[in-house]
Amino acid sequence: MTPVQDPAMTPLVANSLTLQREMTWLNEVLDTRFRLYFGQPVTYTSIYQIPAPDLTFDHSPYAQLVRQYSMGLDERLIMLLALAPHICPQVLDIFFTRNENYARGFTEFGGLKGNQHSGFLPTGETAAFVLAANDLTHRFRVLELLDQDHYLMRQKILALDSERSNEPILSGALTISREHLSLFTSGAEYRPPFSSEFPASRLSTRLEWEDLVLDDATMDEIHEIMSWIRHQHQLMSEWGLGRMIKPGYRTLFYGPPGTGKTLTASLLGKSASLDVYRVDLSKVVSKYIGETEKNLANIFDRAENKQWILFFDEADALFGKRTANSDAKDRYANQEVAYLLQRIEDFPGVVILASNLKSNIDEAFARRFQSMIYFPMPRPEHRLQLWQKAFQGFELGPGVDLKQIAQRFELAGGAIINVLRVCSLKAVERGGQRILLEDLMEGIRKEFRKEGKTV
pLDDT, tens digit (0-9, with 9 covering 90-100), for 272-303: 999 999 998 777 877 666 777 888 888 888 88
List C-alpha distances in Å: 422 to 152, 307, 418, 439.
53, 38, 7, 7
129 confidence band (pLDDT: 50, 70, 90): very high
Largest CA distance in the chain: 95
Q: H/E element holding 119?
A: none
Distance CA 25, CA 152 (A): 21
pLDDT of residue 327: 53
Q: Decide: helix, strand or coil at residue 173.
A: strand
pLDDT of residue 383: 96
Residue-wise over 78-88: b if at least 16 C-beta within 10 A, else e? bbbbbbbbebb
CB 106 within 8 A of CB 99: yes
CB 311 within 8 A of CB 277: yes
Give residue-wise pLDDT tens across range 374-431. 999 999 999 999 999 999 999 999 999 999 999 999 999 999 999 999 999 999 999 9
245 confidence band (pLDDT: 50, 70, 90): confident
326 confidence band (pLDDT: 50, 70, 90): low
Nearest to 79 by CA among 95, 94, 63, 60: 63
Q: Indicate the pTM of the whole model.
A: 0.77
pLDDT of residue 375: 96
Query: DSSP character for 57?
Result: T
Over residues 353-381, mean pLDDT: 84
List C-alpha distances in Å: 95 to 90, 177, 362, 382.
10, 23, 55, 69
CB 178 within 8 A of CB 2: no
pLDDT of residue 392: 93
Q: Which amino acid is at 276?
A: V
357 confidence band (pLDDT: 50, 70, 90): confident
Over residues 223-230, mean pLDDT: 95
pLDDT of residue 290: 72
200 Rama sector, left if φ>0, alpha if ψ -120 to 50, beta otherwise: beta
pLDDT of residue 222: 96
Q: What share of the chain is helix, strand, coil (3-state, %, to 5)?
A: 50, 10, 35
pLDDT at 155 over 80: yes
CB 130 within 8 A of CB 28: no
pLDDT at 169 over 80: yes
* Average pLDDT of every residue of the chain: 90
User: Of residues 188 and 291, which shows the higher confidence score?
Assistant: 188
Nearest to 146 by CA among 67, 52, 79: 79
List C-alpha distances in Å: 443 to 180, 232, 305, 418, 427.
48, 44, 45, 7, 13
5 confidence band (pLDDT: 50, 70, 90): low
Distance CA 426, CA 435 (A): 8
List C-alpha distances in Å: 167 to 107, 109, 122, 151, 161.
14, 16, 16, 24, 11
CB 412 within 8 A of CB 262: no
How many other C-beta atoms lie within 10 A of the C-beta of residue 332?
Answer: 14
Over residues 251-270, mean pLDDT: 95
Distance CA 366, CA 360 (A): 10
In sequence order, the β-bridge partners of residue 218 are: none
How many other C-beta atoms lie within 10 A of the C-beta of residue 275?
Answer: 19
